[in-house]
A and B are shown apart, each in its own frame.
Chain A
Amino acid sequence: MRARIWGCRGSLASPGPETVRYGGNTSCVELRLSDDRLLIIDAGTGIRGLGVSLGHEPPAHIDLLLSHLHLDHIEGLGFFTPIWNKDCEIRIWGPPSTTHTLRERLATYFSPPLFPVHIDKIPSKLVYQDVPEEEEWELGTAVLRAQRVNHPGPTVGYRIEEGGKVLTYISDHEPAMGIDLAAADPDWVSGYSIAYGADVMFHDAQYTEDEYPQRVGWGHSSIAHTVTFGLITKVERLIMFHHDPLHTDAQLESMLVRAKELWGTDRDGLVLGYEGMEVELA
């Protein structure tokens, strides 16, 4: 399994000279299974470049896994070239809602005045699928598990396993809300079981420790929470993800210095996610 980041910015696309090293596109990760099957996690603005990279003959079948339907995770979908290809089938997986179907929620975006083309007029075959929440399921050679995590609105994290290697993706997550993560019983920590023992985890690292107290309940983590969550779940490699749109490259690098102090300067495995970053799990 190989992963490539096409967008790791949180909340709002933030292009410009101060974000060139880590990128300004919102969340999108390309996964290639060992047989080259394509899975995509989230459809932030980064998915535009991914679509372009697929050329004029994209795979006939693509699985798109949405963590949730906040705009920064779906706003690139209208500019993902395969959705305009009538020969392409895209199965869109997303968290169930108690009130609306996945298609209805996506149609809120794919309809005027937010978007000129209604979802029913998209030529590719779109298949909408709520993620199973009680059991694992398979996509080709990968075994997947989705679990609701603490973030406003229906939101899931994903655990994807292939060939004994595990990748966990929890882009928007506030596991520390109201609890002391380091002391909490693991059973009572949001996202714990899908993160536990992962070889690689992409995890929310939006705020500094100083910023978080003014943003409690917004659904994101401080870097201290991110590192603590990574340590208690014993992940091998932790990729800081969902960078705040107001943070420059220099600020992100200073956050990394602080995060490494907490992670342990004598151990590897903690990095800032950046556009174009590739991770091999083999």
Chain B
Amino acid sequence: MEQKSLVLILARELADKLATAVFVVDDEGTLVYFNERAAEILGKSFAEAGAMTINEWAEAFEPLSHDDQPLAADDLPLVAALRTRNPAHRSFRIQGADGASRRIAVTALPLLARSDEVVGAAALFWEDGGEGS
């Protein structure tokens, strides 16, 4: 029987207890959880969204650069953190499921259970009123 990595379990529990928006993906980039503050920004709850593949969530929230160009999955901090195993940061615009467009800043951290084992990544994000890349 397969089950989630302990690091991912603890990351989800931490996210659940934080007032900061957090979005957690597994080692394949599949969305496994986002918390209530994230739900406010994304316009839907995790219970409504459910697990989503990397391409599904990357498309669902319609990320746009500041000059309104669509961002590919590879341009997003979470995907960069998974790929490079280093933290990544970017601000961009998303379209929430509630129809609202919001500018957000995202800092993504790879979740390394061991130095050679990435079990997922977590992105902390917030609504961003300033200029960004």
Q: Report which A residues bind B (CB closer than 8 A).
A: 96, 98, 147-150, 177-179, 186-190, 192-193, 196
* Given pairs A150-B10, A178-B13, 17 additional interface contacts (CB within 8 A): A98-B112, A147-B6, A148-B5, A149-B6, A150-B6, A150-B9, A178-B17, A187-B2, A187-B3, A188-B3, A188-B4, A189-B3, A190-B6, A192-B1, A193-B1, A193-B3, A196-B1
Instruction: Name the residue on B nearest A96 (C-beta).
Output: B114
Ranked nearest first, the 10 interchain pairs of A and B with the lowest CB-CB distance are A178-B13, A193-B1, A148-B6, A193-B3, A187-B3, A187-B4, A192-B3, A188-B9, A188-B4, A196-B1
Q: Tell me the residues in window 108-133 of chain B with beta carbons closer than 8 Å to chain A beta carbons.
A: 112-115
Contact B16 A178 (CB under 8 A): yes
Asked if B103 is at the interface of the complex by the 8 Å CB criterion, the answer is no
CA distance A96 to B112 in the complex (A): 13
Are A193 and B2 neighbours in the complex by a CB distance under 8 Å? yes
- B12 on the A face (CB < 8 A): yes
Query: Which residues of B are interface residues toward A (Cβ below 8 A)?
Result: 1-7, 9-10, 12-13, 16-17, 112-115
Which A residues are CB-close (under 8 A) to B9?
150, 188-190
A98 to B116, CA, bound (A): 10
The interface residues of chain B lying within 8 Å CB-to-CB of A148 are 5-7, 113
Name the distance in Å between B33's Cβ and chain A's nearest Cβ. Answer: 9
Q: Which residues of B contact A149 (CB under 8 A)?
A: 6
Minimum C-beta distance from B1 to chain A (A): 4
Q: How far is the CB of A16 from chain B (nearest CB, A)?
A: 36
Q: Are A188 and B1 in contact (CB under 8 A)?
A: no
* B115: chain A residues within 8 A (beta carbon): 98
Say yes or no: A179-B6 contact (C-beta < 8 A), given A96-B114, A98-B114, A196-B1. no
Contacts of A188 in B (CB 8 A): 3-4, 9, 12
* Shortest Cβ distance from residue B112 to the other chain A in the assembled complex, whole angstroms: 8
CA distance A190 to B115 in the complex (A): 21
Contacts of B1 in A (CB 8 A): 192-193, 196
B13 touches A179 (CB 8 A): yes
Please measure, in the bound complex, the distance between the C-alpha atom of A188 and the C-alpha atom of B6, giving whole angstroms: 8
10 CB contacts below 8 A, A to B, read A98-B114, A150-B6, A178-B16, A186-B3, A187-B3, A187-B4, A188-B9, A189-B3, A192-B1, A193-B3
Minimal beta-carbon separation of A26 from chain B (angstroms):
24
CA distance A179 to B17 in the complex (A): 10
Say how far A201's CB is from chain B's closest CB, in angstroms.
15
Task: Give the residues in chain B near A98, CB-CB below 8 Å.
Answer: 112, 114-115
Q: Cβ of A150: which chain B residues have Cβ within 8 Å of it?
A: 6, 9-10
A8 to B78 Cα, complex, angstroms: 44
Q: Give Cα distance in the complex from A187 to B6, angstroms.
A: 10
- In the bound complex, residues from chain A placing their C-beta under 8 Å from that of B113 are 148
Distance between Cα atoms of A190 and B4 in the complex (Å)? 8
What is the minimal beta-carbon distance from A32 to any residue of chain B, in angstroms? 27
Give complex CA distance A148, B119 in Å: 13
Residues of A within 8 Å of B4, CB to CB, are 187-188
Q: Which residue of B lies closest to A148 (CB)?
A: B6
Of the candidates B9, B12, B16, B115, the one having the most CB atoms from chain A within 10 angstroms of its own CB is: B9
Specify the chain A residue showing the minimal Cβ separation from B113: A148
Instruction: Tell me the bound Cα distance from A193 to B6 in angstroms.
Output: 12
Neighbouring A residues of B5 by C-beta, 8 Å: 148
Q: How far is the CA of A193 from the CA of B2 in the complex (A)?
A: 7
A178–B6 Cα distance when bound, in Å, is: 13
- Chain A residues with CB under 8 A of B13: 177-179
Chain A neighbourhood of B16, CB < 8 A: 178
